[in-house]
A and B are shown apart, each in its own frame.
Chain A
Amino acid sequence: KAGVTQTPRYLIKTRGQQVTLSCSPISGHRSVSWYQQTPGQGLQFLFEYFSETQRNKGNFPGRFSGRQFSNSRSEMNVSTLELGDSALYLCASSLAEISTDTQYFGPGTRLTVL
């Protein structure tokens, strides 16, 4: 089976712009989670989706949003980008309905905000 794929792999944006990141889970996985990784804060949970429903949301401002489609693919959007949004954004999929079991991570999208 193909692994989790994320597009694009690298992005450079300027402050105030918005960005959309995409994640395709492993075939058959219906649970998708997003994480932000920065050197200072480490890995922080953003959202979790299952069957197009947001099951869980981390402590991030409303500028961060996401959605999941009927084919389990997921997107996350960050509006009005700030310098502090520069990070590696990781997507993970899971076979389980809730993200308590093994999560399979994609390679990440490296976002740089100038």
Chain B
Amino acid sequence: SQQGEEDPQALSIQEGENATMNCSYKTSINNLQWYRQNSGRGLVHLILIRSNEREKHSGRLRVTLDTSKKSSSLLITASRAADTASYFCATHTNQAGTALIFGKGTTLSVSS
């Protein structure tokens, strides 16, 4: 079953604009991670935020985590055409023997 659900499913913006994607999850987590996937290729890790952290930055990326609302957001500032990809959140729960569980992703399209 899906633990994380991204919103929106698809997002189209112009270069230079900011893109915000949201992820909601159901059970308590150890950490939440964001990955990017370019069309039909492997996933690239973007950022990991632990359950005791509220915000992390990496370059043009900003991730927030609200464990009380069981939600996270990924903000990409000053988007570029090269940011066009699918973005997935993945959660690791506190249940023993579980693996990363991915959401269905947000497809971001950045046009020049």
Contacts and interface: CB of A to CB of B under 8 A. Distances in A.
Interface of A: 4, 33, 35, 42-45, 48, 55-56, 58, 88, 90, 92, 99-108, 110
Contact of B102 (A42, A88, A99, A101): A42
B80 interface: no
Ranked nearest first, the 4 interchain pairs of A and B with the lowest CB-CB distance are: A105-B42, A43-B102, A42-B104, A105-B43
A44 B97 CA distance: 15
A45 B41 contact: no
B14 to A, nearest CB: 27
A76 to B, nearest CB: 14
Nearest to A100: B92
Interface of B: 2, 30-31, 33, 35, 40-45, 48, 88, 92, 97-105
Contact of A99 (B40, B88, B92): B92
Given A99-B92, A99-B100, A100-B30, A42 B105 contact: yes
B42 A108 contact: yes
A56 B98 contact: yes
A48 B92 CA distance: 13
Nearest to B1: A59
Given A56-B99, A100-B31, A108 B92 contact: no
A55 B101 contact: no
B40 A103 contact: no
A106 B33 CA distance: 17
